[in-house]
Every structure is written in C-alpha cells, then in structure tokens.
C-alpha cells in the first residue's frame, strides 16, 4: 500500500498541487476536502496534507489526478468563441463545445475563465492555473468585461442614464460601468458596454430591461486582453510576454507568469 501523504514529510500541500493542476482555486480545493470529496491513496484527504509524485488523488471518486514532480508553466489561451458553441465540457445534445479543439495540456486541464451563452460570441480565456482562474472570475477584483452589442430599438439619453445608474432586475441591481455609442444609425445601433461582475446573461438582461432587442452580442475585451481583429471564430492564440504578465498582475499573481514570450495560433 502507498504511504499516505498525511504522514509524508516531503511533497506539496494538496491545495496548491490541485490548484496548479487546474482543479480549482486553493479555497475551492479546501471546500472539497472539508466535504469529504477528495481521497489520497484511498484515504480521505485532510486540510494541509502533502502529496508527491506517485500518490493517487481522486476527486468525487472519479478520474485519478496525476501529481507532477515538476511545475507546469502557467498558460493562458485566448479563444474566439463562435455563436452556437456551448461553454461546457460535454453536451447531451452533442452540440460543439468550447473544449473540442483546445490543445492538450501535459498535466491538469484547461479551465474556462467565465462563460458566454450559446448565442454570444467573442473573447473567452482559458488557463491551466486554478488560482489565476479563480481570481479573474472573483467579483472583488473588478475585472472589466467589454462587449459590443448591436441593439434594435429606441435608445435615448434616459435609457443610457438608467443603464449606467443601475436597474433592478429580479431583486438585484445591474448596471453598466461604461457605455460608448458605436457604429450604426436609427434603431439598429452598436454600443460598447463594460461590466465587472460577470453575472449570468448580465448584458442581455440589462438591455432587455429597457424594451429593446439584442440582435448580436460579442465580447471584445477581458481585463487588458483585447480580441484580435484577425482571429477567426473557432481559433485560439496562446498568450505570453507582457500581456500575460499584465493579466496576472491585475489579480496579484505577477510572479507566476513565465518570462518567455509565447503567441502561437492553433486551429
């Protein structure tokens, strides 16, 4: 029988090892441990236990997580999501998913940083670093999410003032942190709008609360990362260099970013 890592003097704390492998933030791993959902070498894991290469870690009794002896470099992908693709790892209706064509990672898995609904296209980020994903999605870091929205209907100064000031939707206050009028004219106009909370269908719900129709919606920026104009739908680019450092710095993880520049495209 393998030696339980609870008694092992060496190794890495399980929260850190699993977050690095892309299974969630350290706090999320701690909650899984407290709920009895993680086993190490056939025993329930305890907070603060250490794991090392060769240990068998299972989450919810499912697939075994491989514990690597060397640290996997932090990686971030920018993906241009087409409309009609769903943000899930598998789909019962066999619709295409955002994970279908991603490159493989040596260890762990890709984590999508937030979601876009099936009809929304544009910028979506993935990382293999659980803590980075957790911080970028957490409301307290107030990361900008900018969308280009084509609106059908009458939008006057009063509508824009309400959207900036806050709208009560089902007991919650929603608002745009910024709105800029884009191209178009009459009742079919583009607007660039920014939110920071990342709540489900937030942009659509805000516009629809004003009795107008969102005929097209595309995310064009997340934090400091802009959607490249030459990146076709369904393709991705790996980030590196200053862009990756700046992204990590937004949430206090600047030291985690690799120094070597990376920017490669894949189908």
Under a CB-based contact definition with an 8 Å cutoff, are residues 163 and 51 in contact?
no
Question: Is 117 assigned a catalytic role?
Answer: yes
Burial 219-238 (b: 16+ CB within 10 A, else e): bbbbbebebeeeeeebbbbb
CB-CB contact of 113 with 146 (8 Å): no
Q: Taking the mean position of all CA atoms in its chain, how far away is CA 20?
A: 15
* Closest C-alpha among 188, 193, 194 to residue 212: 188
CB atoms near residue 64 (< 10 Å)? 11
CA–chain centroid gap for 12, Å, is 25
Indicate which residue of 100, 117, 178, 242 is catalytic: 117
- Catalytically active residues are 117
């Amino acid at each position: 029988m393998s030696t339980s890592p609870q008694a092992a003097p060496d190794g890495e704390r399980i929260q850190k090892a699993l977050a690095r492998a892309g299974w969630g933030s350290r706090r999320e791993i701690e909650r899984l441990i407290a709920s009895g959902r993680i086993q190490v070498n056939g025993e329930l894991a305890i907070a603060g236990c250490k794991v090392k290469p060769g240990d068998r870690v299972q989450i919810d009794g499912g697939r075994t997580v491989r514990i690597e002896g060397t640290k996997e470099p932090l990686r971030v992908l920018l993906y241009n999501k087409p409309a009609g693709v769903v943000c899930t790892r598998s789909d019962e209706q066999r619709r295409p998913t955002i994970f279908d064509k991603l490159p493989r990672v040596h260890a762990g898995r890709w984590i999508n940083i937030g979601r876009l609904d099936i009809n929304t296209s544009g910028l979506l980020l993935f990382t293999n670093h659980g803590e980075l994903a957790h911080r970028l999605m957490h409301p307290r870091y107030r990361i900008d999410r900018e969308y280009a929205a084509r609106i059908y209907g009458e939008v006057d100064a009063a509508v824009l003032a309400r959207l900036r000031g806050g709208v009560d939707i089902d007991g919650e206050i929603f608002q745009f942190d910024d709105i800029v009028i884009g191209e178009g004219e009459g009742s079919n106009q583009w607007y660039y709008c920014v939110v920071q909370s990342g709540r489900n269908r937030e942009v659509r719900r805000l516009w629809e609360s004003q009795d107008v129709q969102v005929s097209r919606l595309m995310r064009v920026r997340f934090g400091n990362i802009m959607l490249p104009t030459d990146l076709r739908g369904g393709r991705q680019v790996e980030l590196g260099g200053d862009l990756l450092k700046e992204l990590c710095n937004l949430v206090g993880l600047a030291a985690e970013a690799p120094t070597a520049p990376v920017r490669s495209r894949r189908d």
